[in-house]
Homo-oligomer: A and B are copies of this chain.
Amino acid sequence: MRIAVLAHGKFPDRAKTAVGLLRYGPHEVVAVLDRELAGDGDARVNDYVDDVPDAPIVAGIEDVPEIDAFVVGIAPIGGGFDESWRPDVRGALGRGVEVWSGLHYFLAEDDEFARLAGEHGAEIWDVRRPPEDLTVAEGVARDLDCRIVLTVGTDCSTGKMTTTCELVEAARQAGLDAGFVPTGQTGIMIEGWGIPIDRTISDFTAGAVERMLVERAEEYDHLFVEGQGSIVHPAYSAVTCGILHGAMPDALVLCHAAGRERVHGYESFPVADPGDLASLYKGLAEPIHPTTVAGGALNTSSLDEAGAREALEAYGAAIDAPATDPVRFDAGDLLEGL
């Protein structure tokens, strides 16, 4: 499919979905919408992110070539809809193409968008809408006939989805029968399947993860589960904890952003020591299904190469496990430990 991705004012650093789709998605991104970067019409994705397929950066839907789907590729805290995006969504629906959104605000429940979708035969996929028949976990993930690896983090936005995608690719290259279990909107758009765990009812959070694993375990020998948030996040720890106990992973990969000292968006809280956090994740998993921190993934994009190697060494020592930056270096380095 040919897709265009809206990322107004946030590309690339605060546009996780847009960058994720560029880097890991099976679809061809033919345009990124960012009216602040678009300029005179010659801005390109590769001017800002150099290791993904290139595409033009445009100011609005009127500059987007022919597409099959239009994606809202930003996920602001709270997940609201920014009214300044309305003309772009309206334009996409007017073309009759699919519109995908990962917002908490469901576009299909917006009166105007619902009407336009009906008039033009356009489908709206609100990726963050979970199935309506979720229920409590049965506690069966540990009995599945496959090996389960979960990425966890010291904070939000530390590279859990990226690391999970890189691990799946590396595992497949190594000849393993590896599947990706997405838990967030970007992963779900990449995979075309999945449950948005942060949108599930808290009583059913572990159950939703379990349901995905039960389904995927029939197809794969190795499942890599995308984690969310952090077990000590002031707002999102419920999501993290539900994933940990619903997935009952055999191994964890702890993701951290080099140099991050304050919780993203909650700067009055310090990021906990990665070594302490590794112990906490293990301790929390222990009574349900014992696990280990078998690797660490460090986002070193803020450092030069020498600094990155130094930071990786310190990080590996802190969490007592092999560590790499799976984007800058090689996710394969982690596979052996897993």
Task: List residues of chain A with CB under 8 Å of any chain B CB.
Answer: 77-79, 104, 135-139, 197-203, 205-207, 231-242, 244-245, 266, 268-270, 272, 276, 279-280, 283-284, 286-288
Contacts and interface: CB of A to CB of B under 8 A. Distances in A.
Contacts of A137: 234-235
B245 A272 contact: no
Nearest to A143: B268
17 contacts: A77-B136, A138-B235, A139-B269, A200-B201, A200-B202, A201-B201, A202-B202, A202-B205, A203-B235, A206-B234, A234-B245, A237-B245, A238-B242, A269-B288, A276-B283, A280-B280, A283-B283
A284 B288 CA distance: 16
Q: How many copies does the complex hold?
A: 2
A268 B142 CA distance: 11
A270 B139 CA distance: 12
Contacts of A268: 139
A242 B237 contact: yes
B232 A207 contact: no
Nearest to A277: B287
B280 A206 contact: no
Contacts of A138: 235
Nearest to A229: B203
B235 A206 contact: yes
B266 A287 contact: no
Contacts of A286: 232, 272
Across chains A and B, which 3 residue pairs bring their CB atoms closest together, nearest first? Answer: A238-B242, A241-B241, A139-B234
A187 to B, nearest CB: 16
B231 A207 contact: no
Contacts of A104: 203
Contacts of A276: 283, 287
A78 B287 contact: no
A110 to B, nearest CB: 15
B207 A202 contact: no
Contacts of A283: 276, 279-280, 283
A231 B89 CA distance: 42
Contacts of A136: 77-78, 235-236
Contact of A269 (B197, B272, B280, B287): B287
